Structure 1
């Protein structure tokens, strides 16, 4: 697993997270891959990551961003910093699409769904908030991938520009992709590649 996501979400946000995951599965499995549906899919993945982590679920920051925060009285918001997905949302989307295109045994899907049902049952949600939730077991795969791939970090504007710069070999930037040599595990690989010193800023669970 790439990452144990920092959960700062409320019960209401977790309900939204599950519904976004259900929407993602529905879009991939039952809708044509048009420009419109791809845009909606990317939005749903982004919103799923946002609701999973909650407003304050940012476990990483660059050393330079931390200096800005301290200068700003210890507040991350409103000082020009960028809140950034360590693994770009486009990469998370692509991994989900690939996973839902892969055949799985009925047994493994049933086990995944059972774990998801138990997890959802533990959420103290408003009555009826999850009524009518689809029984599609592949939603559990979406949940698992988003949990494993979601990590946010605070960067300065200058550091954000480093991610947007073209690579030395002339290929595109890393703003929407991971480095060519990414091992598929290290969520901070883009920052290391661009020599951005990013460190944990709070406990993770």
Structure 2
């Protein structure tokens, strides 16, 4: 298998959520990564949207790099079909390896773990620890309340607008994904191919 054109780190729920659109979009993201010669980097789980995006990437012929703490492997939550499955000792190692292996980051709907990972890479970027693009896939308005709150934080001067500008949000994966990869400085000719 050739080297990937890019590596996209995807954060998303270990549960599927209550709307079919969440699962459908996770499938689209996985297929898009594979069809454009990319590599998925994610938390290594087989459940929920995590498992869906990994399965979709693999089924479309893409590479999948999973990074999972040993404690979750022992609970039998690991996706053993990953191209690479790295078992680490704790969450700090997991998040560090995922960030190192990624050219860009994308958060799909999820819970507290997804929020924590998204906020961490956003914080790291505003502090200058990396310069990788960060996307928020706002499916069916899932992140509308969060974005409203974040804009209120700016209005109350706990954040500046430039910090909000570090994240890209869109409800359409097919619009957001090419922007993230282009912002990462990856080769772009392949992005014009049909999705």
Q: How high is the TM-score relative to the length of structure 1?
A: 0.24
- With the length of structure 2 as denominator, give the TM-score of the two structures: 0.25
The structure showing larger relative contact order (alpha-carbon pairs under 8 Å, at least 6 residues apart) is 1
Pair member with larger Rg: 1
